[in-house]
Chain A
Amino acid sequence: MARNVAEDAKAITRGLKTVMTEFFSRPVTVSYPEAKRPVSERYRGRHYLRRYENGLERCIGCELCAAACPVGCILVEAAENTPENRVSPGERYAKRYEINMLRCIFCGLCEEACPVQAIVLGPNYELSEYTRENFVYTKEKLLEPLPPEVEERLRQKEKMRIASSLVEGKS
């Protein structure tokens, strides 16, 4: 029994010594609003509706994103492009495009489903609002501006994709 006590005492001492060493090591805490952890390239944060370089909106109002959404939080109303009012390079454009951020699960299926890479998920995750109404993002209010470096990265990715499809002879 004395040997048990000695072993236990040695184990406790080892534990105390380990904790004491940790006491003097640098804390790993990231002081949040002042310092932020970097996000990965494909991070699924807030949604953005992109435009082409000539200013036309990418979204053609096909509603594939609304169909792909597992929650059903995207509302799309399409309208015809007229010669006077050309919004997108196609037949239709999205007259009304709303995403209910309170229902969205940020899965990214809408981004995968979009045929023209119009809807993308960006790196922004700080999305607080004061009322529930403000969480229904309408097309005009919050879906247009996009951080320049993210837009640049997406354009580079597209150039790579077009270039590789030309090289490998795919259509």
Chain B
Amino acid sequence: MNPIVLTIIESVVVIFVLATAMAYMTWFERKVVAYMQVRLGPNRVGIMGLMQPAADGIKLAFKESIVPRNASKLIYTLAPAIAIAAALSAFAVVPVGLIWTKSGALYAQIANLNVGILFVFAMSSMNVYAIVLGGWSANSKYSLLGGLRAAAQLISYEMSLGLSVIGVIMIAGSLRLQDIVNFHLFGVPFPLIVLQPLGFFLYLISAIAETNRAPFDLPEAEQELTAGYHTEYTGFKFALYYMAEYINMITVSCLASILFLAGWQGPLLPPIFWFLIKVIFFLFLYVWIRATLPRLRYDALMRLGWKVLLPLSMLNLFITAIVYVAVVH
């Protein structure tokens, strides 16, 4: 088949699957947070509330779209589009599983980029644009302040996010995500988390901060700044921001399972099932942390990013480099 047509089909499938995954991620979160708070979550709309995301989607589509009078209309409409585009594009390089065909093994992903991780980080950095432009274009004090705070938070945690995975990249020797997963087959027989516990820990915290989730969700919390950068967004544009946040969560969980927990590898079950199990484990971790921890105050958040995570990730980098050189040579 024409490779361009194949790529288009793959992309459409991935977008469709991600949209559904994001919808049921909202269901998962509401149910899990509810049970952690000793109550039932949504359980009326379908069996166990499984049609709740459909009901929410229909509701959001029918909502009135209010645009503030002095908002810059083009950027106001563009910002959530950037958010969702960046979130979906990051998924182009993630290997979801392994398919055995007649001609050998096929990795289940859209693009086999040799700079896989770099591409994912580049796409998640585009998120900063989406948030700043969204907060600024809405012509409202709360949005502007929320957008500025969010931007500062995102760029602070991006550095420790990148540095914390360099240890893994060093050990696996490649930026290509397939190679990192394969390293577990041909390199070391245990998941890389054993070799990089500090890196894993730092990656997790930085990722939670990057996706604006609790306890780092000050920029979008309703109680502070009346919902920050997406205060003035209603209806479908708000739905796009919401979708972008959840898809970012899913992407980060996929990356965490690929980088530290050996991706789709595991005995007995088909690879895609192992991948799903690991991603769902990380999503559960996200929700568990959200249900437990209170929100960080903004200066505490900044202090954590610059004074704790950044030095620790650099420390991780140095130690990994020294040990790697000592062991390999």
Chain A positions near chain B (C-beta within 8 angstroms)? 12, 15-16, 18-20, 22-23, 25-29, 31
Contacts and interface: CB of A to CB of B under 8 A. Distances in A.
A95 to B, nearest CB: 47
B215 to A, nearest CB: 10
21 contacts: A12-B292, A12-B293, A15-B292, A15-B293, A16-B289, A20-B288, A22-B35, A22-B36, A22-B38, A23-B32, A23-B35, A23-B36, A25-B38, A27-B35, A27-B38, A27-B39, A27-B40, A28-B38, A29-B39, A29-B40, A31-B40
Contact of B39 (A12, A19, A20, A28): A28
A2 to B, nearest CB: 11
B291 interface: yes
Interface of B: 32, 34-40, 43, 288-289, 291-293
Contacts of B37: 22
Main SS of the interface on chain A? helix
A25 B288 CA distance: 15
Sorted from nearest, which 10 A-B pairs have the closest CB atoms? A19-B292, A29-B40, A23-B36, A15-B292, A29-B39, A27-B40, A19-B36, A27-B39, A16-B292, A23-B35
B151 to A, nearest CB: 27
Contacts of A23: 32, 35-36, 288
Contacts of A25: 38
Nearest to A23: B36
B272 to A, nearest CB: 27
A29 to B, nearest CB: 5
Nearest to B37: A22
A20 B32 CA distance: 10
A18 B292 CA distance: 9
A150 B218 CA distance: 53
